[in-house]
Amino acid sequence: MAGKFDVRQNLFRIPDNISVALGLQWDFIGEEPVDLDASCVAFDEQGNCLEAVFFNHLQADTAYMEHSGDNTTGEDTGEDDETIIFHMNKIPSNVCYLMVCVTSYT
């Protein structure tokens, strides 16, 4: 059974012996599909950008973040349209912050 985390807290710690998946799912209203994109940016303690995963860069250098790939329409079979998996035990020690973003290409 998967654990749930209360993201309403200002800070929460996730155990390092698990992987966490962040899923993005959407539907569009109207005639034209909407292209939403999930991404994640890693920062060090000083706030310097270390690397990112997104639709055009699917895996972090040390494979601690993996992006499922780009879904440009939101059409699917009921599963998440885009997913980012975080392998907690592979996160480098200089990564202090992970910022998850959702952007709209259309």
Q: What is the DSSP string of 51-76?
A: EEEBTTB-B-TTSSEEE----SS---
Q: Are 101 and 38 in contact (CB under 8 A)?
A: yes
The answer to whether the pTM exceeds 0.85 is no
| pLDDT at position 8 over 90 | no
Digit-coded pLDDT (tens) for 54-105: 999 999 999 999 998 877 666 666 676 888 999 999 999 999 999 999 998 8
pLDDT at 75: 67
Mean pLDDT across the stretch 44-48? Answer: 94
**How confident is the model at residue 88, as a pLDDT?**
92
What span, in angstroms and rounded, lies between the C-alpha atoms of 5 and 24?
A: 17
Residue 28 has a pLDDT of 74
pLDDT at 30: 77
Asked if 65 and 40 count as a contact pair (C-beta separation under 8 A), the reply is: yes
